[in-house]
Amino acid sequence: MMARPSPNALPWLALSALVIVLDQLSKWWVLTSLPEYTPIPVIEGFWNWYRTYNTGAAFSFLADAGGWQKWFFTVLGVGISVLLGHWLSRTPRADWRTALPFALVIGGALGNIIDRQVHGHVVDFIQWYWKDYYWPAFNIADCAVVGGAIGIVLFGLFQGKTAAKRS
């Protein structure tokens, strides 16, 4: 069993909290300021504010599943957050290549869990498009999860190559 480093990376959870606050504040703004299903151009031909809702996961996966998916994605998000939090407790604080992506995923996952539990769906509002192709709407929590996942993969690959060069 790996011993906990001292000091460990748990203070990186402050970044998770910041992601949650920014995500929830942006969704409050959306819910109080933007009309539903009406594009509001930010950058013409590329970016709209567009208030919509998702009862599923990425790309509306399981959106029409009948309601059980709310609990499935809640349990999945909590489970992933607990696992990453545990790994943070075993990560040296200075290891930002591990701690930063973990903290982003935790904050994003918990931000969307709050939506599922409070509203019954996730509030999405960032819409990117080009000509007639529209990327599915997303939110700040989604950005944090995707950015964190990319960081986990990229830093994991680079870390593996660095370790292999040292051998």
With 0.85 as the threshold, say if the pTM is over it: yes
Q: Are 142 and 124 in contact (CB under 8 A)?
A: yes
What radius of gyration, in Å, describes the C-alpha atoms of the chain? 18
Q: In the numeric block, which tokens belong to residue 71?
A: 């609990």
Range of lowest pLDDT (15-24, 42-51, 85-94, 153-162)? 153-162
Q: How is 76-88 classified by DSSP, letter by letter?
A: HHHHHHHHHHHHH
Largest CA distance in the chain: 58
The residues with which 150 forms a beta bridge, in sequence order, are none
Q: What is the pLDDT of residues 102-145, one digit of tens each?
A: 999 999 999 999 999 999 999 999 999 999 999 999 999 999 99
What is the set of active-site residues?
124, 142
